[in-house]
Amino acid sequence: MRAPIQTAETICVGTELLIGHTLNTNSHFVARQLSLMGINSYYQTVVGDNPDRLLAAIRSASTRSDCVFLTGGLGPTADDITMAVAARAADRNLTLHEPSRQAILEIFTRMGREMTDNNLKQAMLPDQSIVLPNRNGTAPGCIIEFEQDGADKTLILLPGPPSELRPMFLEQVKPYLVQRTSRILRNTFVRMIGIGESKAETVLKDLIDSQTNPTIAPYAGEGEVMFRITQLAQSHDDPDNTGPLLEEVTKRAGEYIYEVGERKMHEVVADLLVERHATLSMAESCTAGLAQSMLGEIPGASRFLTGGLVAYANEVKREMLGVPAELLEREGAVSEACAIAMADGCRLLFGTDYAVGITGIAGPDGGTPEKPVGLVHLAVSDANGCETRVMRINGNRARVRGVAALNAFDLLRRRILG
Amino acid sequence: MRAPIQTAETICVGTELLIGHTLNTNSHFVARQLSLMGINSYYQTVVGDNPDRLLAAIRSASTRSDCVFLTGGLGPTADDITMAVAARAADRNLTLHEPSRQAILEIFTRMGREMTDNNLKQAMLPDQSIVLPNRNGTAPGCIIEFEQDGADKTLILLPGPPSELRPMFLEQVKPYLVQRTSRILRNTFVRMIGIGESKAETVLKDLIDSQTNPTIAPYAGEGEVMFRITQLAQSHDDPDNTGPLLEEVTKRAGEYIYEVGERKMHEVVADLLVERHATLSMAESCTAGLAQSMLGEIPGASRFLTGGLVAYANEVKREMLGVPAELLEREGAVSEACAIAMADGCRLLFGTDYAVGITGIAGPDGGTPEKPVGLVHLAVSDANGCETRVMRINGNRARVRGVAALNAFDLLRRRILG
């Protein structure tokens, strides 16, 4: 009986990661899976296709963690050294694994191509390892169980392409890990808007400091505040005990909470609209379609998004949305009155239940002392009237636009909820 | 005179990375920038918000690399330990940096929020460091120059949110690094559309294999094909010698090249419109504002973007763009005829020189054998008529929408150029 796996870390192998050619999504994927299984991970490393540096990285990783994931470097070329170096770290020899050779040969036959000698290299696997067949590519993965300084250690080698790594992990590695660990982490995310991170932390400080199981901790988010509530369960039968803590958080900061779970703001709004069979249109000036585009990311957006306008020029605001010329003259296009007129006009034009108006100064130019860059007026219109919000958003053009869209959705959400 | 920086590595700090909540784009961004400057990078590390592990990671990184980037963990909460631990690693004290305190106070005043005591922590910076003001958030970064075992070492601390990290790097860290490196790399990017990556590589293979200085190599782009031509210069006075190679590339693949330089497709189109004093409107169905939002990213977009429609529902196509009901009935909303009618109707409605129509099936649902997911029809309309393109785009919803927008801009570009 081998000791349970309580800690694991990842080493991603590849010069393409070190020069910023490829975004490292494998670390992210493996980390999330480990976290869901309650396996602690304290490190992630990226190294290049260099045997000495890789060997050193494996040795320090397996000294401090029970299990080390190695991703990438399992290809057929001379650059691909992960299998050989991992075998060396575990003091194993590589030998030809006949079923893997057969599997690779079959792939080549199916593609109508000839198998070259260096493809054989991918069938050279460490003695006494658990081979992980690859149904999406030629490189098999493997699990090497070995001893280091009297402790049970495990190396898990996975191919670099995410389309091969992910199914191999979910279908073969996950069942293996479930048998090797009995701890279960339950994570609940609490998402807030309208409160700063430090203010939120102050409000929840004693809970953050004193809670042991479940725990609550702040979480960084772009333009929003998030907390993570985590329960460490001993078995799958352990009841969920996060309720009282979540209740206390809600008592203190409920007005800011827009989601307990995984959904982002625009997804929450989309679900609300679908539930109520309500339709939406948007009139966007400074965000120029960004808010509508976020809704467009959601499959089936046509259930609630009728359409909308990018009302960039003042003529568009005037002629298509019916914003009075004298209002634009008197108050300017970036004003509460204009946002209201945009939202009302948009709702009439598209005949939707709700309409949103967004107008602001995204910068970097166009600001004045009275109307600085970052000033944004938002309005939501429905059959009962209009609601507005004014924002002074810090940051660059992209941030102003992003936070404006986020808050437009929040204003809409509150209006829908009444 | 401090020794030049030849090697650098990144340590990203944050439990949210270790549990896979946040995708690590900062390592990727910094790695790409270092590579562009000819600074070698052999390691990337992620550690959590734990002082001992972070200190150990900084020490081993600064032992093996000249410069260590630390990203994240600069927030106001107790979890944010990077500044304190980095100061300890470099044997510096933290003291209140008055200009940073002022800057943070100003942000809170502007936002109409009260500054709490823990925000003051963000103004506590290491003695004798180079402070990097943050114009997109409250956390300043900093550069700590110190000695370790008689060698010059540099720690560069940057805030975790990419919207803060990226401008801080480009505006403040890059100029600093340029002064501290001895090698000068001159990079020219050649951007192509309408040709696959492997086809392009085949066309340029002998150049990729044989060139030494300058070199040409494929470069990963988002949904496009890009090559990087790199000259290693000995001094800033060295003449640019990339001309002949660029000429040869143009001779072989000129029809696919849309940009030699830094501009993305929508930026190329924006510049063309501005040069010609031409105006644009767009009618988007499946992209739902994505294309207009990309133009909206460009400061001063109001010079050419009049506005446009998100024509998601068929009623919007019919009633606002004047797409005939019988056309929608006969050909369907995803058809060349509908794209043309959308573009023509949009140009009339907004009174612009050019108008673009985009209609397609973004998926994952809604496909049929005749009109599968990924089918997109594009049209550009101007006073002389209409031009169209049909695409069958592979991949998920996000990719279909992104590639559709990219190609809409390319169609417009070719139309403007005649």
pLDDT, tens only, B212-250: 899 998 876 656 788 989 998 877 788 888 999 999 999
Return the pLDDT at B161: 92
Q: Residue A374 in contact with residue A394, Cβ under 8 Å?
A: yes
Chain center to CA of B159: 18
- Every domain of chain A with CATH number 3.30.70.2860 lies at 184-260
Q: Would you state the structure tokens that stand for residue A233, as one six-digit string? A: 């369960």
CA distance A104 to chain B (A): 23
Per-residue pLDDT band at A185 (split at 50, 70, 90)? confident
Mean pLDDT of all residues in A276-288: 98
> Could you report the per-residue pLDDT of A196-212, keeping only the tens digit for each?
888 899 999 999 999 88
CA distance A192 to chain B (A): 16
Mean pLDDT of all residues in A335-351: 98
Q: How far is CA B408 from CA B34, B84, B388, in A?
A: 33, 50, 9
Return the pLDDT at B249: 96
A24 vs B27, B163, B297: nearest CB: B27
Return the pLDDT at A111: 75
- Every domain of chain B with CATH number 3.90.950.20 lies at 265-417
Q: Which CATH number fits domain B7-180: 3.40.50.150, 3.40.50.720, 3.30.420.40, 3.40.980.10?
A: 3.40.980.10
Ramachandran angles phi, psi of B282, nearest 5°: -135, 140
Q: Would you state the structure tokens that stand for residue B355, as one six-digit string? A: 């108008």
Interface contact flag, A293 B293, Cβ < 8 Å:
yes
A184-260 has which CATH code?
3.30.70.2860
Cβ contacts from A onto B, under 8 A: 276
Query: Which DSSP string do the residues of A29-48 spell out, in sequence order?
Result: HHHHHHHHTT-B--EEEEE-
Residue in A with minimal Cα distance to B117: A198
How many percent of chain B have pLDDT more than 90? 79
> Could you report the per-residue pLDDT of B364-379, keeping only the tens digit for each?
999 999 999 999 999 9
d(CA B351, CA B304) in angstroms, rounded, equals 12
Ramachandran angles phi, psi of A374, nearest 5°: 100, -10
Q: Residue A283 in contact with residue A321, Cβ under 8 Å?
A: yes
Mean pLDDT is lowest, of A78-92, A102-116, B299-313, for: A102-116
Which residues make Cβ contacts (< 8 Å) with residue A112, sequence separation at least 6?
A: none
How many percent of chain A have pLDDT more than 90? 78
Interface contact flag, A222 B28, Cβ < 8 Å:
no
- pLDDT: is B394 or A270 the higher one? A270
CA distance B241 to chain A (A): 24
Q: Residue A264 in contact with residue A340, Cβ under 8 Å?
A: no
d(CA A231, CA A402) in angstroms, rounded, equals 33
Per-residue pLDDT band at A220 (split at 50, 70, 90)? low
Fold for the domain defined by A265-417: Maf protein (3.90.950)
Return the pLDDT at A221: 60
Mean pLDDT of all residues in A226-242: 86
- pLDDT: is B1 or A54 the higher one? A54
Mean pLDDT of all residues in A261-272: 95
Q: What is the mean pLDDT of chain A?
A: 93
Which of B266, B271, B283 lies closest to B411 in space, CA to CA? B266
A31 vs B19, B300, B301: nearest CB: B19
Q: Residue A104 in contact with residue A136, Cβ under 8 Å?
A: no
A28 vs B20, B43, B350: nearest CB: B20
Residues of chain A in contact with residue B362, where contact means CB-CB under 8 angstroms, are 296
Mean pLDDT of all residues in A324-342: 97
B18 vs A31, A33, A392: nearest CB: A31
Return the pLDDT at B223: 62
d(CA A58, CA A396) in angstroms, rounded, equals 41
> Could you report the per-residue pLDDT of A44-87, keeping only the tens digit for each?
999 998 999 999 999 999 999 999 999 999 988 888 999 999 99
Mean pLDDT of all residues in B52-73: 97
Per-residue pLDDT band at B194 (split at 50, 70, 90)? confident
Residues of chain A in contact with residue B42, where contact means CB-CB under 8 angstroms, are 18, 47-48, 50, 53
- pLDDT: is A116 or B143 the higher one? B143
Residue in B with minimal Cα distance to A38: B19
User: With 70 as the cut, is the pLDDT of residue A390 above it?
Assistant: yes
Mean pLDDT is lowest, of A273-277, B115-119, B332-336, for: B115-119
Mean pLDDT of all residues in B385-398: 91
Per-residue pLDDT band at B36 (split at 50, 70, 90)? confident
Q: How far is CA A280 from CA A274, A301, A343, in A?
A: 10, 10, 11
> Could you report the per-residue pLDDT of B247-277, keeping only the tens digit for each?
999 999 999 999 999 899 999 999 999 999 9
Q: Residue B136 in contact with residue B164, Cβ under 8 Å?
A: yes
- pLDDT: is A221 or A187 the higher one? A187
Return the pLDDT at B222: 58
- Every domain of chain B with CATH number 3.40.980.10 lies at 7-180
Mean pLDDT of all residues in A366-372: 94
Residues of chain B in contact with residue A308, where contact means CB-CB under 8 angstroms, are 289, 309-310
User: With 90 as the cut, is the pLDDT of residue A406 above it?
Assistant: yes
Burial of A181 from C-beta contacts in 10 A (0-12 / 13-18 / 19+): middle
Return the pLDDT at B101: 95
Per-residue pLDDT band at A22 (split at 50, 70, 90)? confident
Mean pLDDT of all residues in B186-210: 88
Return the pLDDT at A163: 84
Q: How far is CA B203 from CA A347, B23, B197, B199, B248, in A?
A: 53, 35, 10, 6, 11
Q: Residue A380 in contact with residue A355, Cβ under 8 Å?
A: yes
